[in-house]
A and B are shown apart, each in its own frame.
Chain A
Amino acid sequence: MWLPFVFLIIGVILGLLTDLRVPDAYTDYLTIAVLAAFDTLLGGIRAQLEKKFDDIVFLTGFFTNVSLAALLAFLGVQLGIDLYLAAVFAFGVRLFQNIAIIRRHLITQTINSRKLKKNPEK
């Protein structure tokens, strides 16, 4: 469980150390890619809690989500419509949903384990 977070921190440190900056014109893409990545990660955690996790689905989901979001943003720029807002909205809603589901799962898990502790003979 801790390994992914160690890597998350490693990634952050790497990103900060490289001193890389995205040009202003591409910030929208990055914003949306970060959102998509978050969404996929939370989706993965949720699938894990629901015991439906599949690494192929997760992996492809991650990359397709990120690239699709960027594509949507690109299309929006070309058409002069702020389409990336649609992606932000969709991802935002899903983010909250996933967080809510994860929370519920965690709550039921802790309640169950407490019950088990109270009457272990069951």
Chain B
Amino acid sequence: MIFLSKRTKWLMSLIFALVGFMLAIQFQTASSEPELRDTRDQWEIRQALQEQQKLQQELLEQIAQADRTLEEYGEVSDAEKLETLKSSIHQLEQEAGLAELEGSGVIITLAPIFQEWEEGAPAYPTVSPSLLTHLINELNTFGAAGIGVGEERFISISPVRNVNGETYINNRPMPPLPITIKAITSNPKKMMDYVNASRSRDMFALDQIAMEVEAEQHIELPGYEDNLQIDVLELDSSKETGED
């Protein structure tokens, strides 16, 4: 290649430069992803910070509690150890919904608005699974610590299904209306306001079901009776929503 004439050399160089240019643009185009910019303003950042701080506090509290439990385990007496173990089991059962739960909360009563006569026979409104799921989801969003539907305890893996036109909860049929739904929360008044203002009322009204909400200082929820089938459960690290 030594015998390239000068003109050819420059020509080649220019073409090479062109190719390089094209290559660079191609590379840039191929590797360009939409730039992720932080467009939050001061308030939003502050809010995010607050959320993180709240999370941190929660975590710290959890750590402190775990430390306490550990300390109690470390106590010498066997009886105390057993006591601690029992109380941890009870706490876990309560969290999982296996144990009975007491506390302040709201009682929602679902009752038929009126009985419509359809070709001579009274049409009796029923709660559809989707409607019930919606209400329960709303209650959970509003921060319910435990939910009971009729005599059934509703836990995180409770199924709501439509079986032959009937609504089943925990694989048992739901009793006919009127029915009470209980939700335990630390702030029943607020939960009552939430439920009253929610869209569930309208949706139930569309199905001719009236919804009445009362705040109670003391309600009791039954425990979940069946076995927990948690073989297929996996740990979900996403944050819980709701009040507490």
Which residues in A have some Cβ–Cβ distance to B below 8 Å? 1, 3-16, 18-22, 27, 30-31, 33-34, 37-38, 40-41, 44, 48, 53, 55, 58-59, 62
Contact = CB atoms under 8 A, between A and B. Distances in A.
B22 A4 contact: no
A104 B177 CA distance: 89
A117 B17 CA distance: 37
Contact of A11 (B12, B17, B28, B30): B17
Contact of B23 (A3, A6, A27, A34): A34
B237 interface: no
Contact of A12 (B1, B8, B14, B20): B20
A contact patch SS: helix
B11 A8 contact: no
Contact of A14 (B1, B14, B15, B17): B17
A53 B32 CA distance: 38
A1 B4 CA distance: 9
A30 B26 contact: yes
B53 interface: no
The B interface, classified by DSSP as helix, strand, loop or mixed, is helix
B16 interface: yes
A13 B9 CA distance: 20
A12 B26 CA distance: 10
Interface in B1-53: 1-2, 4-5, 7-30, 32
A4 B26 CA distance: 20
A8 B20 contact: yes
A7 B22 CA distance: 13
Contacts of A62: 15
B24 A12 contact: yes
